[in-house]
Amino acid sequence: MTRTSFTHSPIGGAVAILGAALTLTLAAPAAMASSHREAPFISGQSKVDATDFYMFRSYEANRQDYITILANYQPFQDPQGGPNFYMFDPDANYEIHLDNNGDAVEDLTFQFRFKNTSKGGTLNVGGKAVKIPLINSGQISGINPATLNVRETFTVDLVRGARRGNTRSPLTNVGNNASTFDKPVDNIGDKVFGGTTGYATYANQHIYTVNIPGCATPGRVFVGQRKEPFFISVGKIFDLFNMNLLGPEVGGNNNDLEGKNISTLALEVPISCLGLTAGDPVIGGYTTASLRQGRLLNGSPSTGLGNATRTGGAWTQVSRLGMPLVNEVVIGIDDKDKFNASRPKDDATKFADYVTNPTVPTLIESLFPAAKAPTNFPRTDLLTVFLKGIEGVNQPKNVIGGEMMRLNTSTPPVAIGSQNAMGVAGGDNAGYPNGRRPGDDVVDVTLRVAMGALCQLTGTGDTFKLGCKPSDAPSGNMAFTDGVRKTSANYFATFPYLTTPLPGNSNPAPAAGTTYP
């Protein structure tokens, strides 16, 4: 079995990995679900819990002039999650923020808002019209069919400049100029959608070509349920790394998220519409979710959906996600909610200690004495890459430190099937940490960087100016792994790339030989 370690990466790749992986590492030297239930407050607010953020140059054929952004919410969805399934919160504000000049402040914000409307479907029972208890009354096909008892719609607004107080302009459907879009209901089951391929056909009708305000070229948007794309041996990691960290990279452990679904906000935006300045092709991105400051329980809800509460006051950010694993395994438990409420521009002053003196490498050493944690404190190697990205790879020219995903839009995309799951570390500069694609193995990259792979790369002369040397990280050359690996071939080759969600009738698992697109 071929094992990839940073020591075999080309110099350019090493630097990039060093930057993004490091940003990972400092954010997450261990690997759990990327950001699932990572903080005390958000663990009880699943509808606004951001789980993973992806940003990459589109690799669908003839779409190389676009970037794709995927923001996943609502973790650990069991496919059989009826009767309500997994609708977005109509009282929440879901946002995707883009920084086009490296100052750690948003310049473009896409705001997603949702509305759930009951159609009040009834059945005649003994002469009385009685409301049905299900989200559908029969088979479903097409957009908003009569058999769908609850219609979920959404809008997307673009805000330029600060996310609050500036003008919001709606994205509109190229086909009919409408600013309200239908979201597909979740994958209830094969019978509802007419067979194993029925849901894919149904969901694809909800991929919209959209006009983006101030942009001459249309983009695309999709919002809906997908199969959970993140892969990791969560259970064994939480069980004090109950695994062989130097075992096989593929098939060594089970992917504990294989039977779960997720809810995705997907955008495809022309690179020409990002507002990048000439000579500086790096875009930064992250997602947040906000709730109103006040929420009052309504003891006598009126007819319809979403009336059990009354909300008001200013928006309050409760979830934040850019690079994977940062809040989950780097930020101390007492500050996790604080991190979720923060913005990148404040990271250097509020959370630096968690990066310069990370706990996970020490934990790994205590459990595996043969693995020695790096000794260079403060971990300036992690701090440098975490806050700025890697110079010459994905660092903006006039960067101000702040944690977020960074993508060099001038790096050509790599076609599906040719991508290396180790990204930059594997010689594939279009992958993590230069952005993140669904098939990038951020867990293995993070484990290795956490244990000092970058100190080995920089050499005794500190080529990358990280403030460390090989002797500071005696285990930096070890190929740490959680034993779970996917590749680009496990995902779709076209937007929105993430695959069809598992159907509700698949519990506990599909019958032998059954496959889903």
Backbone angles phi, psi at 442, to 5 degrees: -70, -25
Among 108-117, 118-127, 454-463, 469-478, the minimum mean pLDDT is found in: 454-463
Is the pLDDT confidence value at 11 over 70?
A: no
Is the pLDDT confidence value at 21 over 50?
A: no
Pairing assessment for the beta strands 181-182 and 208-211 based on DSSP bridges: unpaired
Task: Report yes or no on 421 lying in a domain.
Answer: yes
Is the pLDDT confidence value at 416 over 80?
A: yes
Instruction: Give pLDDT tens digits for 144-182.
Output: 999 999 999 999 999 999 999 999 999 999 999 999 999
Task: Report yes or no on 508 lying in a domain.
Answer: no
Buried b (16+ CB within 10 A) or exposed e, 146-156: ebbbbbbbbbb
Task: Report yes or no on 409 lying in a domain.
Answer: yes
CA-based end-to-end distance of the chain: 28
- Choice between 21 and 360, residue whose per-residue pLDDT is larger: 360
Task: Report yes or no on 386 lying in a domain.
Answer: yes
Count how many domains the chain has. Answer: 1
- Give the distance between the most distant pair of CA atoms in the chain: 86
Judged by DSSP in three states, 364 sits in helix
- Cα 141 → chain centroid: 29
**Closest by Cα among 70, 39, 53, 32 to 323:** 53
Q: What is the pLDDT of residue 299?
A: 64
- What value does the CA radius of gyration of the chain take, rounded to a whole number of Å? 23
Instruction: Give pLDDT tens digits for 81-115.
Output: 889 899 999 999 999 999 999 999 999 999 999 99
d(CA 237, CA 247): 14
Task: Report yes or no on 314 lying in a domain.
Answer: yes
Is the pLDDT confidence value at 9 over 50?
A: no
Task: Report yes or no on 509 lying in a domain.
Answer: no
Residue type, 252: G
The DSSP secondary-structure symbol of 26 reads: H
Q: Is the pTM of this model over 0.75?
A: yes
Instruction: Give pLDDT tens digits for 425-457.
Output: 888 999 998 999 999 999 998 888 889 988 998
Is the pLDDT confidence value at 40 over 70?
A: no
Instruction: Give pLDDT tens digits for 376-402.
Output: 999 987 877 777 887 888 999 999 989
Residue ranges making up the domain that contains 160:
6-501
Task: Report yes or no on 249 lying in a domain.
Answer: yes
Task: Report yes or no on 118 lying in a domain.
Answer: yes
Provide CB contacts within 8 A for 128, sequence distance 6+.
Answer: none
